[in-house]
Amino acid sequence: MKRFLTVFAIAASAIFALTSCQEDNPQNVDGPVITWASNPNFEPQDITNDMDVKISVSAPAGISTFVVTITSDALEGLLGTNTIDFINPASAELGAIVTMILGEGASVEGATELNLDLSNMIPLILGATTEESDHVFSLAVSDANGKSATAECTFHRLAENGGSSENVQLELSDVDLWKNTAVLTLTGGEAASVAYREQGTETWISLTAGTDGTYAIAPEWTKDTNAGGHDVYTPTAGTGIWAGKTYEFQVDGNAVEYTYTAADGDVIPNGDMSGWSTVSRNGLVGSADVAYPNAADAEAFWDCGNNGVTTTLCTNLTDEDGTALNVAALASTNMFVLAAGNLYTGDFQYASFTGTASFGKKYSFTARPRALGLKYSAVVGNVDLLRSSGDLVEGVAKGDPDRARIYVAIVDWTVQHVVESGMTTTTGSWDPANGMTQEAVTEGNIIGYGSFEMTAPVTGTADDLKDLTIDIVWYDTDAQPQEGNYSVVISCACNYYGDFFTGCSTNKLWVDDFAWVY
């Protein structure tokens, strides 16, 4: 038994010694590894202005040497050398380059991990030479155990005569002014970088070639949340192709003598408020001819609440001698209840103290608008009339600041949306900011909308109209109103709660020159 224990102890000691020897053996620690995640096989890469060159170095035993040798006449001329020692740079300038590649505060000697970013350095070659050429970065790293690794990163500068602005031909096709997309095709050579911008702006938008060699142009969208808690999207300025705009292009950093002007957008019927006629509407007794914001021979697009009882809610503004000025003049009035001045795209009916406003008109969009533009002025005071019974506006009292409002909605409805206001009840009241579908309406989707409010006190005048641009935000960046559906609502109201007979009875609003902004 004693002999067995002795043998066992000797064997255990031998195993422990062997294990300790293996752990202390540098040959059992992995050597350095150089990785290019986006190009794992280190294939040669064409140089572009927006290329991504991020390389990682792993050395579990700690880096002892790290040298990059550059085979490039262009860069050697800029750097004054073809070798950069990342541990002991030969000059302050080379030290600054090491910092640019590794980042501020990075330590090389003894490091087990390094991340190199050459994305800002490689494109310098484009400005240093115009000739087709290869530029090679040879990476050599060794660790504390004497193990090493090497890798070659080859970057190809395309020849100017193979893809320069002097020889490449550009053509824009498949332009879709609702989706704001197009396809750019280059012929006569290749290009290292391609960009476009709206003429008159400063920022160039870089494009990336697809698998078929063409360049897809499309808008970028910024996501936000509106006051109703819903996601909305706004196109990023300068991106995409928009109606009526001219675009210019550059290849390999050089402006190209090629421009493209997109077709003009759509016109809003009677947007300049030049067409007026009269229409017969019911009143308390019989009917009356009231102002109608459409020319007599034109298809009806606009309407208002004028009827045989309240005849001046929307009229054509006139000067002192009665000459029509072709400006819609909206005026609220006290008819024992508030009668709100209004103008909107849709249709109106009046019967038995009940006004029925049907919102929406059929309209064929050929281009997506960024905004609604118009001219306006307003007078907005404090609330002086409230509905006395029935459907009341909670939280609104006499003396509170009233609001006037102008909004636009791009919709896809199979029928008009109806709001019915009686002496004590209001049904169908809606707000395009309340959501895309069921939250706001049931007739279909609200694709996008824009809104502008004027809160008391506002003291404008009829002869001081100001330019206004109401930006449109989008619930859906792809959907387009279907042909034959009701597709647009523009609403102007002197009183925010006019459909509830609540607000300031002396509010006024003047509007003119409605037009889409692209």
Question: Greater confidence, 256 or 425?
Answer: 425
Question: What is the per-residue DSSP string for 213-245?
Answer: S-EEE---EEEEE-TTS-EEEEEPTT-S--TT-
Query: What residues have CB less than 8 Å from 327, skipping those under 6 apart?
Result: 273, 316, 317, 462, 465, 510, 511, 512
β-pair type (54-58, 33-36): antiparallel
Looking at residue 288, its amino acid is A
Residue 107 vs residue 403, higher pLDDT: 403
Quick check: 465 and 375 in contact, CB under 8 A? yes
Task: Give the residue from 454, 451, 421, 441 showing the smallest Cα distance to 305.
Answer: 421
State both tokens at 487. Answer: 């597709």
Helix segments in 69-174, DSSP class H? 73-79, 92-102, 124-128, 160-163
Tokens encoding 270: 């009677």
Sequence letter at residue 190: E
Q: How far apart are CA 4 and CA 71, in angstroms?
A: 68
Q: Could you give the CA distance from residue 107 to residue 190 in angstroms, rounded to a whole number? A: 40
Q: What is the pLDDT of residues 480-496, one digit of tens each?
A: 999 999 999 999 999 99
Task: Give residue 512's identity as a one-letter amino acid code.
Answer: D
pTM over 0.85: no
**Is pLDDT above 50 for 112?**
yes
DSSP characters for 266-285? ---TTTTS---EEEEEE-SS
Regarding predicted confidence, which is higher, 25 or 84?
Answer: 84
CA distance 374 to 452: 12
Least confident of 131-140, 226-235, 375-384: 131-140
Q: What is the per-residue pLDDT across 5-24, written as a single tens digit (0 to 9) for each?
A: 343 343 344 333 434 444 45
Token pair belonging to 378: 């307003």
Structure tokens at 307: 């009827």
Measured between alpha carbons, how far is 168 from 156 in angstroms, rounded to an integer?
18
Domains of the chain: 29-157 (2.60.40.10), 160-261 (2.60.40), 277-517 (2.60.120)
CA pseudo-torsion sign 368, 373, 379, 381: positive
Confidence label for 96 from pLDDT (cuts 50, 70 and 90): confident
The partner residues of 376 in beta bridges, in order of sequence, read: 466, 511
In this structure, the strands spanning 302-303 and 342-351 are antiparallel
What is the model's pLDDT at position 24?
A: 54
d(CA 73, CA 44): 18
Specify the pLDDT at position 438: 64
Task: Give the pair of three-digit tokens for residue 121.
Answer: 């350095």
DSSP character for 388?
A: -
**Residue 392 structure tokens:** 């009341």
Mean pLDDT of the chain: 90
Bridge partners of residue 140, in order along the sequence? 67, 150
The two tokens of residue 82 are 């073809």
Q: How far is CA 482 from CA 304, 306, 370, 407, 472, in A?
A: 26, 31, 19, 21, 19
Q: Which of 388, 386, 379 is nearest to 400 (CA)?
A: 386
Q: Is the pLDDT of residue 432 over 80?
A: yes
Query: Pairing state of beta strands 403-413 and 63-71?
Result: unpaired
Sheet strands side by side (includes 83-85):
45-46, 148-157, 133-143, 63-71, 83-85
Which whole number is the average pLDDT over 371-395? 97
Rounded CA gap, 41 and 34, in Å? 11
SS3 20: helix
Higher pLDDT, 349 or 75: 349
| Residue corresponding to tokens 């002496």 | 423
Measure the CA–CA gap between 243 and 177, rounded to whole angstroms: 6
End-to-end CA distance of the chain: 98
**Which CA distances in Å does 91 have to 37, 67, 379?**
30, 14, 70
Proportion of the chain in helix, strand, coil states, percent, rounded to 5: 10, 45, 45
Question: What pLDDT is attached to residue 159?
Answer: 65
In whole angstroms, what is the distance from residue 106 CA to residue 116 CA?
A: 10
pLDDT band at 251 (very low <50, low <70, confident <90, very high): very high
DSSP single-letter state for residue 399: T
Give Rg (Cα) of the chain.
36
Rounded CA-CA distance 358/415 in Å is 9
Q: How high is the pLDDT of residue 26?
A: 59
Residue 433, pLDDT above cutoff 70: yes
Query: Which residues lie below 8 Å from residue 394, measured CB to CB, with a gap of 6+?
Result: none
pLDDT in tens, 277-324: 999 999 877 889 999 999 999 999 999 999 999 999 999 999 988 899
Q: Is the dihedral of CA 295, 300, 301, 307 positive or negative?
A: positive
Helix (H, G, I), strand (E, B) or coil at 250: strand
